[in-house]
Structures are given as structure tokens and as C-alpha cells.
């Protein structure tokens, strides 16, 4: 059988297929999880891991595969988180119309804002996307129409949601939903980067000037990548809203995009497995380090050592810096050796812009 | 009239802080091409350094004024040392790898805020300042808080000193030449790397001053304070033109006043939106900003 077919489609299918049986596992893994695998607490954590794995991969479409450094990806996730919830809870729409409306709006907004922001490249693109995301964050905080409820957040009206996704007893369904999202993003990305436009994205990342010389217009291709990435992010946002049964301002903060960047770089930019594993690992550690930080072993440590350990973001930030400095290919770079991986390849996309500017 | 005057002076006070942060960011980007997210950490070092010295070391020593000045001075020293160390330890090994440099500063900023929160908790802290700062002066019927004058004066002094340094000293000349064309400066046999550490130290001091002043302006210091100031400072840098000190000063005033007026006369939050839109418009219509180096290559 074709090796590419096996590596890119069959093994992932087997892996995601096996993950689908996780809610059926009745035993517990003492050190890794507090509760048995099939308990709602553990399943909710695993669902969050898979959701972030998928979200990190949506970010990697533009960052790792096309070389676009955006600081505003959170805007589209937040759009999914908030708009679907607003349509259901504030406007009393039923579930499916709200979902389709949200996806449609996200697609349209990604086209408009992408078209505008892609007029500039490199760091300027990063700043424009940051600015748009900041505008969205201010809008959600100030809440001029009383839709988002500002800092209080907006709890979803659970009577309008599909009943199979509501309540602690249905955590396993939410797990499957997150798994389906992660798998769908994975296969869509595999298909997209293998298609002929996807090859142009990667060519833009490697050398945009050469793509232009070939008679292609990089901007149109960059817009495709941006829109795919943003629309999938909004769908991930809807899953987020269902998983956390509501919307809060966390998803609008600039830091939210930065954490996605951390996940992608830790796992390995421009690698599908890398981004997904980075998202899973980051989310898992972020949750578990708090538990370790308050555990009895750490309790015995002197104050100066203990306090930093209680802040997962401190440890994750340090891990991230070490990976950037010593392992630019991320965890995926450990496996793939002998060619430029991860950040080194994106460097030519963002770094070249600086050279041209000089 | 008195409301307008109060808004204007307060806006200038806010703009003064934006300028202090933006000037360092702008020099660092202009010279090294690094968008320095860790600048938020420099602000925090300044504000927390001042708070720590005034409550842990000089508590009850001398008059409030001297305690404040001495603590602030030591806060600035901490800011300068911290910034220079960041350059030497984290930025230098990644020389000419721009995206990694940006990412390292992002990681440092996130980790540092977490560390400060871990050590001293998420709550806001206050440090003693001379009571005069919180009194008001009446001008044309407007009650202007006195700290606004200090912010504006300090920032004006920093602007003057920076311009003097850049125009009258040898290192200033190297920095200005490096912003214009770094490759040429290196080709002339000048070790531009010393200038890198220097701009980081200068940026660290300016950001630490902003940190101290933000402690006075908001009455408190908190771990996240640096981050929120940083975003607007980024906007100021881009609007003002990367690498241009004068452009940053002008943009800081424009951004802060726009924010103040729109937040008051329209409604709260509108000012922030307007500033963001302003950034979008400037970048798309004039990617070089008001003055200075090119932001986007193939814009």
C-alpha cells in the first residue's frame, strides 16, 4: 500500500479511533489522573485537551504552514464562543440556525479582516491582527447591546442546547464532540496542505518572492489560509462554548492567542501531530501543575521554590523559552531530523520581511 | 471648559506613560528588528521594585518624599539591569533569528507575570508617595491632580535627554546610524552589539519609570498592569513609526488624547476602539507611520 496513504490517513484514523474508546475505560491511572478515566472530571480534562489540540492546529494553518504570524487568532475563537451563545441565549434562536449563522458570520468576517490585514506582512500583519482582536475584546467587555454581559460572562441557555450535550452525565458526549473536532481539523488540514493551494501556502512560507515570480499572487493564497484557519477556529469556539456551557472574557484576551502560539511552538510549528500534541500537552500540564503545586511534596519545599511551582504559566513559559532556544523544531523536531523544521522555516517568511525593510 | 482641561491634562499624563514605554520599544525595534513583548516585564520590574524597596527596605526611614525618590531610583536601576540581562542572556544567542527573538520575549512576558503573581499574589499593591501628589491644583476652574504634572514633566525630561543622547554622543550616533542601516554600520567595523545592550538598558529604564509613574497614576501596582499598558504602547510605536523617538512622542499624545476624549464624550470603551481603528488606518494607508522605518516590507 502507498506509504503516504498509510502515514497520513490510516495511522491518524487508527489513533483517533482508539481515543474514541477512552470513555469506556473503567480503570484509573493513579499518577496521571486523580479520578478514574471514565469519570466526568477526567473526561472533561481530556475533552479540553483535545479541543485545544484542535485549536492549536487551526492556528498552525496560518503560522506553521503559511508563515503568517498573527496575534489575533483569539478573535475568531471568541466569535464562535460568543456569537453562537448570544444567538441562542439572548436572541432565543434554536440551536442549528445559531450554529450555521455563527459559522457564516465568521467566514465573512475572516474574509473582510483578512483582506484588510494582508495588505501588510511580517510584524505589521501581527500588529494589525492584534489591534482587531483588541477591538473585539473591548467590544465584548463594554457590551454596548447587553449581549455578552461583560465581566460576568454569559451562561448558555441549556434548554435550547441539544440535551445530549448538557449536564455532567453527558460529559462523555462532550468528550466525543471535542475528539470529533480535533480529528476533523486534523484531516481537513491534511487535505488542505496536500492540495495545490496548500502547496502554494508552504511555498509562500519558504520564499514568497519566488512564488510571485512564478506568476501566482501570494495574497490570494494567504487569504485562503487565513480564512480556513479562522473559520475552523470559530467552529472550535462553538465547541468551547458547549464544553464550558457558556462564554467568558478569557477567550478574548490577547494572552489567549499567545497561549496558542506557545502550544504550537512547543509541539512543533508546521507539523500536524506537533501542533495537536502541543495543545494536548500544554492543556494537560496547565491543569495538572496546579494539582502538583498544591500537593504535599511541594508543600514541604521552601517558600521561594514553592510559589513559582504553583503558577503553571511560569513553568510553561520557561519550557517554551527553552524550546525556542534549544529545539526550534519543537517536540516534533525531535522525530524529524536532518532538515529545517518548525521555527527555522517560518523564520524565512517573517525574517525576510525585515531584510527587505532594511 | 474645566472638564475639557482636566481631560486634556489627564490625557497628557497617560500619553507620558505611553511615550516612556514606546520610546524604548521603538528604539529596540528600529535597531534590532525585535518586537519586544518583554517590555511589559520591564514596567513590572520598575513598579514592583519601587514598591518592594519602599515597603520592605526603607519602611519608616526618612521623609515620605525621600523614601519614594530613593525607592524609585533603585526601581529604575533594577529595570536597567533586568533589561540588559534579558538582552545578553536571551536575545543575543538568537541573533538574526527574529521570530525566535519575538517568541522568547513573549514567553518571558507570560512567565514573568506568572512569577510575580506567584510570589506576591494577584492583588494590587500600594506604595507611599508624597501626599502632595494626590492633591489637586486649580487651573481655570479645573481640579487637576498634581501627579499629572509630574508625569508630563518626567516624560518631557526623558524625551529631551534621549534626544540629547542620540544627537550629541558617539553611542547615540551609532544607534541612529544602526536604525537607518545596520549592515552599513557593521561594515564600517563598529561593533553594533554593544549598542543592542545599551538600547535594552535605556528601554528598561524608561519602561521602569513608566512603571513607577503608573503606580502613582493608578494609585496601585498589579502584575497585569504592565501588559495592559504595553498593548497601547505597541499601537503608539506603530503609529509613530518604528525607530522614531519624535514620532513616538507625537503618537503617544494623539493616542492618549483620542482615548480620553472619546471615552468621556462618546462612551466608555469607544476611545479604545477608536485608537485601534486609528492603528488599522495608519498601517494600511501609511505603513511607515508618522515617521521612521518601514513596518511592513511588501506593503
CB neighbourhood size of B189 (10 A): 6
- Residue B265 within any structural domain of the chain: no
From A116's Cα to the closest Cα of chain B, the distance in A is: 8
Percent of residues, chain B, with pLDDT higher than 90: 39
Chain A contact set for B276 (CB, 8 A): 131-132, 134-135, 138
A280: number of Cβ within 10 Å? 22
Locus of grid cell 500536524: A272
Among A127, A269, A349, the strongest candidate for a mutation testing the B interface, having the largest count of B CBs within 10 A, is A127
CB under 8 Å to A108, separation ≥6 — which residues? Answer: none
Q: Which domain holds residue B157?
A: 19-223
Closest-approach residue (CA) in chain B for A254: B231
Asked whether residue A35 carries a pLDDT value surpassing 50, the answer given is yes
- Rounded to two decimals, the pTM is 0.90
Question: Does residue B179 sit within a domain?
Answer: yes
Paired strand residues for B142: B139
DSSP state of A25: -
Average pLDDT over residues A299-312: 72
Q: pLDDT tens digit string along A45-100?
A: 999 999 999 999 999 999 999 999 999 999 999 999 999 999 999 999 999 999 99
Indicate the number of domains in chain B: 1
Rounded Cα gap, residues B118 and B99, in angstroms: 28
Interface-testing mutation among A117, A147, A317, with chain B (most B C-beta atoms within 10 A)? A317
Which chain B residue has the Cα nearest residue A304? Answer: B119
Is A229 in contact with A73 (CB distance < 8 Å)?
yes
Q: In order of start, what are the domains of chain A with their CATH numbers? A: 3-28+36-357 (1.10.3470)
Q: Answer whether residue B203 is part of any domain.
A: yes
Residue A195: count of CB within 10 angstroms of its CB: 12
With an 8 Å Cβ cutoff, is B114 touching chain A?
Answer: yes
In a domain, B72, yes or no: yes
Domain-embedded: residue B172: yes
Q: Round to the nearest angstrom and report the end-to-end CA distance of chain A.
A: 50
pLDDT in tens, A157-171: 888 888 888 888 889
Domain presence at residue B277: no
Determine, yes or no, domain membership for B256: no
How many residues appear in chain B?
299
CA distances from B80 to A172, A327, B37, B43, B108 (A): 53, 29, 16, 11, 16
Residue B245 covered by a domain = no
The whole-chain average pLDDT of chain A stands at: 87
Q: Would the CB atoms of B234 and A119 count as touching at under 8 Å? A: no
Tens of pLDDT, residue by residue over A64-74, are 999 999 999 99
What does the mean pLDDT of chain B come to?
Answer: 86
Amino acid at each position: 500500500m502507498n506509504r503516504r496513504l498509510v502515514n497520513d490517513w490510516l495511522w491518524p484514523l487508527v489513533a483517533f479511533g482508539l481515543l474514541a474508546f477512552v470513555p469506556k475505560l473503567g480503570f484509573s491511572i493513579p499518577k496521571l489522573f486523580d479520578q478514574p478515566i471514565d469519570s466526568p472530571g477526567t473526561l472533561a480534562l481530556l475533552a479540553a485537551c483535545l479541543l485545544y489540540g484542535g485549536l492549536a492546529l487551526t492556528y498552525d494553518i496560518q503560522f506553521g504552514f503559511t508563515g503568517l504570524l498573527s496575534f489575533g487568532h483569539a478573535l475568531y475563537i471568541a466569535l464562535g464562543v460568543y456569537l453562537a451563545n448570544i444567538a441562542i441565549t439572548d436572541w432565543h434562536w434554536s440551536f442549528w440556525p445559531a450554529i450555521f449563522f455563527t459559522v457564516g458570520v465568521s467566514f465573512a468576517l475572516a474574509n473582510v479582516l483578512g483582506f484588510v490585514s494582508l495588505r501588510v506582512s511580517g510584524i505589521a500583519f501581527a500588529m494589525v491582527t492584534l489591534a482587531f482582536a483588541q477591538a473585539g475584546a473591548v467590544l465584548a467587555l463594554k457590551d454596548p447591546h447587553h449581549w455578552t454581559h461583560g465581566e460576568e460572562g454569559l451562561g448558555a441557555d441549556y434548554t435550547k442546547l441539544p440535551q445530549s450535550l448538557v449536564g455532567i452525565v453527558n460529559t462523555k458526549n462532550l468528550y466525543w464532540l471535542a475528539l470529533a473536532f480535533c480529528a476533523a481539523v486534523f484531516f481537513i488540514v491534511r487535505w488542505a496542505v496536500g492540495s495545490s493551494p496548500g502547496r502554494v501556502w508552504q511555498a509562500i512560507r519558504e520564499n514568497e518572492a519566488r512564488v510571485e515570480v512564478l506568476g501566482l499572487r501570494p495574497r490570494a493564497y494567504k487569504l485562503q489560509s487565513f480564512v480556513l484557519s479562522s473559520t475552523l477556529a470559530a467552529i472550535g469556539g462553538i465547541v468551547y462554548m458547549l464544553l464550558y456551557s457558556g462564554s467568558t472574557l478569557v477567550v478574548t484576551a490577547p494572552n489567549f492567542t499567545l497561549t496558542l502560539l506557545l502550544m504550537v511552538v512547543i509541539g512543533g510549528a508546521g507539523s500536524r501531530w506537533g501542533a495537536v500534541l502541543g495543545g494536548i500537552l500544554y492543556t494537560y500540564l496547565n491543569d495538572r501543575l496546579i494539582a502538583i503545586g498544591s500537593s504535599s511534596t511541594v508543600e514541604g519545599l521552601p517558600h521561594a521554590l514553592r510559589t513559582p511551582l504553583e503558577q503553571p504559566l511560569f513553568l510553561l513559559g520557561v519550557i517554551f523559552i527553552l524550546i525556542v532556544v534549544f529545539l526550534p523544531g519543537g517536540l516534533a523536531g525531535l522525530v524529524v531530523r536532518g532538515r529545517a523544521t518548525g521555527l527555522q522555516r517560518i523564520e524565512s517568511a517573517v525574517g525576510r520581511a525585515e531584510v527587505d525593510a532594511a | 471648559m474645566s472638564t475639557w482641561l482636566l481631560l486634556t491634562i489627564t490625557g497628557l499624563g497617560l500619553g507620558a506613560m505611553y511615550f516612556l514605554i514606546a520610546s524604548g520599544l521603538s528604539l529596540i525595534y528600529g535597531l534590532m528588528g525585535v518586537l519586544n513583548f518583554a517590555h511589559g516585564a520591564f514596567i513590572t520590574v520598575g513598579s514592583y521594585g519601587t514598591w518592594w524597596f519602599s515597603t520592605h527596605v526603607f519602611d519608616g526611614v526618612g521623609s515620605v518624599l525621600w523614601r519614594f525618590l530613593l525607592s524609585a531610583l533603585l526601581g529604575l536601576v533594577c529595570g536597567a539591569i533586568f533589561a540588559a540581562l534579558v538582552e545578553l542572556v536571551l536575545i543575543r544567542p538568537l541573533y538574526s533569528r527574529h521570530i525566535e527573538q519575538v517568541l522568547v520575549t513573549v514567553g518571558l512576558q507570560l512567565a514573568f507575570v506568572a512569577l510575580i503573581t506567584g510570589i506576591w499574589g494577584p492583588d494590587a499593591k500600594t506604595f507611599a508617595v508624597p501626599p502632595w501628589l494626590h492633591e489637586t491644583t486649580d487651573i481655570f476652574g479645573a481640579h487637576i491632580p498634581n501627579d499629572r504634572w509630574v508625569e508630563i514633566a518626567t516624560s518631557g525630561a526623558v524625551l529631551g535627554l534621549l534626544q540629547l543622547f542620540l544627537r550629541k554622543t558617539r553611542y547615540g550616533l551609532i544607534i541612529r546610524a544602526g536604525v537607518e542601516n545596520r549592515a552599513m554600520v557593521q561594515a564600517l567595523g563598529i561593533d553594533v552589539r554593544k549598542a543592542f545592550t545599551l538600547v535594552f538598558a535605556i528601554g528598561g529604564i524608561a519602561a521602569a519609570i513608566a512603571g513607577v509613574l503608573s503606580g502613582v497614576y493608578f494609585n496601585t501596582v498589579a502584575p497585569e498592569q504592565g501588559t495592559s499598558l504595553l498593548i497601547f504602547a505597541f499601537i503608539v510605536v506603530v503609529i509613530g513609526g518604528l525607530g522614531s523617538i519624535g514620532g513616538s512622542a507625537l503618537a503617544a499624545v494623539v493616542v492618549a488624547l483620542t482615548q480620553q476624549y472619546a471615552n468621556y464624550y462618546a462612551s466608555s470603551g469607544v476611545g479604545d476602539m477608536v485608537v485601534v481603528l486609528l492603528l488599522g488606518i495608519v498601517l494600511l494607508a501609511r505603513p511607515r507611520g508618522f515617521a521612521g522605518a518601514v513596518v511592513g516590507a511588501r506593503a
